[in-house]
Structure 1
Amino acid sequence: LHIVQQEALSVSEVEVWRAALNWATHQVQPVDGIISAENLRMTILPFLKHIRLCTMSTDDLVKEVFVNEILTLQEMGAISRSFAGNTESHCSAQICTITEKRERIGKLKTFTLKYFFNQYGSCGGGIELTTKGSDIELCSVECKAYLSEGYDITISIAPLSVT
């Protein structure tokens, strides 16, 4: 639930929906081998207040959201009316009515490769990431090296010095 409450994410809202639906599908106990839309709705309900359905394209809504029959007719109508600019409709308090897209956290693609020599004279390397006025979220670090031997990775984060 914490993830869908964030104001900024690195994925689109349809990907947020898919992840929540996938999680809910794995949480629901099938009855006679069938997962009902009602049981799925009850499981995904805490997330609906935070998934910005009104920011999705109509194509994504139809193909990804409405097809699952999780939302009520009133909720689907309220989302449809939001596309027409009518945000003051009487709607279920169960869904998110925010029409502004979340801020996107992008991947930093620019970096500086740093070379240095250690006490044994061999060359090592490092990457220096510098940003100003933005955040960096480190999700995973993978070390791919020319040599097959193991490497230690150290990540240090420090504020930029003011000059």
Structure 2
Amino acid sequence: MKQCTLIASPFGDILLRAEDDALTGLFFVGQKYFPDERIDDRGGETLPVLRQTQEELAEYFAGERKVFAINVQPSGTTFQLRVWRELVKIPYGQIESYGGLADRLGLEGNSARAVGAANGRNPVSIIVPCHRVLSGAGDLTGYAGGLERKQGLLALERPAITSARQMNLFGA
């Protein structure tokens, strides 16, 4: 069963999309690559994964959650999935560069651009933390939800110094 719902956040409304027991999308309303989804407003039972996502996001925005436990199943190319799996290894409150991410993936040449393109297509933002990736010079670049949101999410996390890791989110 596929279901979508809208929730409010400190950074604007968010569309959550789930299928069965996995979150398949988390998009800021109006962001680049926003899906053409119908909101399920029939008043039926909300999928448990959507309820869990709402609870965990509320804790995250309140500064109480640093690691998500939600099962995510994003759709993408093999390369995109590799990049997104690497993103969840970036700890809360820390940042990585596109080039550093390419190096961690064992990519050669000018792969930072390809990593950036895959990062921009991440369909489960925040939980798969594409906002934690900056340019090699440390500049805010390329966030489908908008640079103001990226800056806000980083400001929310930056006071934290933790080694918490976000592993195994892809249900593997």
Relative to the length of structure 1, the TM-score reads: 0.26
Bigger-Rg structure (1/2): 1
Q: Which has the higher contact order (CA 8 A, sep 6+)?
A: 2
Relative to the length of structure 2, the TM-score reads: 0.25
